[in-house]
Amino acid sequence: MKKTLVIVLMAMLAAMLFAGGASEAKPEASANVRTVEFWHTMSGVNATAIEKIATSFNETIGKEKGIVVKAVFQGNDNSEKLKTLAQANDFKNFPDCAQIAGAGIPSAYTYEQLVTVEEMLGASNTTLDINDIEPNMLRSYNYAGEQIGMPVSCSALLLYYNEDMLKEAGIDNPPSTIAELAEDCEKLKIVNEKGEVERYGLNVAIRRYQMANYIGSQGDYNFFGDNEGGRLAPMTKVTFGEDGTLRNFLTEWEKVIKSGGYKPTEDDINEEFALGIHAMVNMSSARIGKIKALVGDNFKWNVAPNPKVNADDKGGVAVGGSCVVMFNPDKDDEQVAATWEFVQYMVSPEVQFQFHKDTGYIPVNKKVYEQPGIDEWFSKNPAYKVAVDAIHASNPNVQEPFDIINWEIDSIIKNHMVAFAEGRETLDQCHDGIVNECNEKLAAYHKANN
């Protein structure tokens, strides 16, 4: 019995090793081929999609020009890994380019090995017209007036809603403001005789990402902190306290909380929405594909632009997602040119259209909308159109902040917003807590780094 078990397990292992060994294709190495190392952070289907870009590059332009891109998964936070390398002064192990989130731009900016997109625009092998790239996505990775990174995967915060449930509750249009959202929450919630909520109107945990959207969207646009939310120079304090936008948001949000149909923590938000536990959820457009797969034909659902804080707000949404930054670790200009070749390829209309279809990220290149098949694609996938339109309708100044200590800010906001929603903090306590703690932490950072 034991022997059979061991043999069976061995056999399974061997089968796996074989399967794994066989599928590992090594890029051919030859004398005149340059290898460009590209660190990405994508996993699951997105990883397949981004590796597909590298492969197709290698088979076309790469083959022609003797460039081989090696795409390497590096966990979900490249900025952190680059930081560790930089602290160890280990620049020789830097990649040629890396995918990072916007929050990593300020630290990337300090590495002298960084090659900005701005510097490359005048390069001899530049074929890209920077004006083709969406302006708000460019601004996401722009620091002190200089274009640092090239946007590759972008998304927008949306309101997902269960069409069937809304209809059943007599709601014709999805809410466009937080006040409406609160009313609808009240209508949509289902409470059983024991007083337990069986169906929530809305599920979302307000974190830094959501907060950046709700703060940024107010008025024409609004900044999260000083120096345009850290985009001109390092952000030294948050400004949403003094300009009243946080209080606006909290006042409106309190209505949602009081509706009794709001769940302030996220467990498995995608799955729970698909199960009909929440009528609405507030999350990134990057999840459209996931929700589509989970819901299947069980019910009709759609997405709507993120609700406004005040009815007359015009800001729109902040761009989420990531960009690619380039490095020149070996002081080799030809290597940089090869890397630039690949970066330009990544944002070309054809590639971006395919990447959008594979992952649901919003195309960064405006020319994508001239691609054949685009109309058909959007008519089959209307949810993506909503996301694209939301970005197009937004002011480029609405951005996630370059707050340097983004993790800390995130946890401050998250903790206070949950406490507020659960009644452990009043509006004032929540407001002052967020403002003061953010400012204290920012001050502590600047004290240590000036």
Partner 1 sequence: MANQLRKRKVMKYVEPLLYLLPAIIFFLVFTYYPFIKTFIGSFFLVDSMGNFKHFVGLENFIRVLKDSNFHRVCKNTFIYTILCAPVSILIALILALIANKPTRSSRVYETMFALTMAMSMSVAAMIFKLAYNPTIGALNYILGTKINWLNNDKWAMIAISIISTWMNIGYNFLFLLAAIRGIDGSILESASIDGAKIFRKTVSIIMPLISPTLFFLVITSMAKDMMMSSLALIFTNSGAIATTANVDTMISYMYKQAVNNLNYNDGYATAIIAFAITFILMLISFRFEKKGVYYN
Partner 2 sequence: MKQIQNKRISRRTTISLVHQTLAILLGLVIIAPIIYALLISFMPANQILKRPPTFIPKKWILDNYKMAITSTTLGRFMINSLIMALTSSIMRVIISSMAAYALSFYKFKGRNFIFMLIMGTMMIPGDVVLVSNYQTVAKLGLINTYLGMMIIFFCNATNIFLMRQYFLTFSLTLKEAAVIDGCSNLRFFLQILMPLSTPVITTVFISSFISVWNQYLWPMLVTNENLMRTVQVGVTMLNFPDGVVYGPVMAASILVLLPTLLVFIIFQKRIVGGIMGGSVKG
Residues lying near partner 2 in the complex (CB under 8 A): 2, 5-6, 9-10, 12-13, 16-21, 23-24, 37, 39, 41-48, 70, 72-76, 81, 84-85, 87-90, 93, 95, 268-271, 274-275, 283-284, 286-287, 290, 293-294, 296
Which of partner 1, partner 2, none sits in contact with 429, Cβ below 5 to 8 A by type? none
Q: What's the longest Cα–Cα distance across the chain?
A: 75
Length of the chain: 450
d(CA 427, CA 446): 29
Task: Please tell me what DSSP assigns to residue 306.
Answer: P
Interface residue with partner 1, options 196, 297, 334, 376 (CB under 8 A): 196
DSSP letter for each residue of 21-49:
HHH-PPPP--TTPEEEEEEE---HHHHHH
Sort strands 157-162 and 301-305 into parallel, antiparallel or unpaired. Answer: antiparallel
Stretch that binds partner 1, among 42-50, 144-152, 344-352, 412-420 (CB under 8 A): 412-420
Both tokens of 177, joined, read 């403001």
Decide: is 270 part of the binding site for partner 1 (CB under 8 A): no
Stretch that binds partner 1, among 123-131, 225-233, 346-354, 415-423 (CB under 8 A): 415-423
d(CA 228, CA 52): 37
Decide: is 61 part of the binding site for partner 1 (CB under 8 A): no
Interface residue with partner 1, options 2, 26, 92, 380 (CB under 8 A): 2
- Minimum distance, C-beta of residue 124 to partner 2, in the bound complex (Å): 29
Which of partner 1, partner 2, none sits in contact with 265, Cβ below 5 to 8 A by type? partner 1
Buried b (16+ CB within 10 A) or exposed e, 165-186: bbeebebeebbbbbbbbbbbbb
Torsions phi, psi for 8 (to 5 deg)? -60, -45
- Minimum distance, C-beta of residue 275 to partner 2, in the bound complex (Å): 5
Residue 417: closest CA among 256, 206, 219 = 206
- Minimum distance, C-beta of residue 310 to partner 1, in the bound complex (Å): 27
d(CA 288, CA 160): 9
Can you name the residues that pair with 115 across neighbouring β-strands?
Answer: 326
Decide: is 205 part of the binding site for partner 1 (CB under 8 A): yes
Which of partner 1, partner 2, none sits in contact with 411, Cβ below 5 to 8 A by type? partner 1
- Minimum distance, C-beta of residue 266 to partner 1, in the bound complex (Å): 6
Nearer to partner 2, 95 or 234 (CB): 95
Which of partner 2, partner 1, none sits in contact with 449, Cβ below 5 to 8 A by type? partner 1
DSSP letter for each residue of 255-284:
HHHHTS-EE-S-SSHHHHHHTTSEEEEEEE
Interface positions with partner 1 (CB under 8 A) = 2, 80, 83, 86-87, 107, 110, 196, 205, 207, 264-268, 271-272, 275, 277, 404-405, 407-408, 411, 414-415, 418-419, 441, 444-445, 447-449
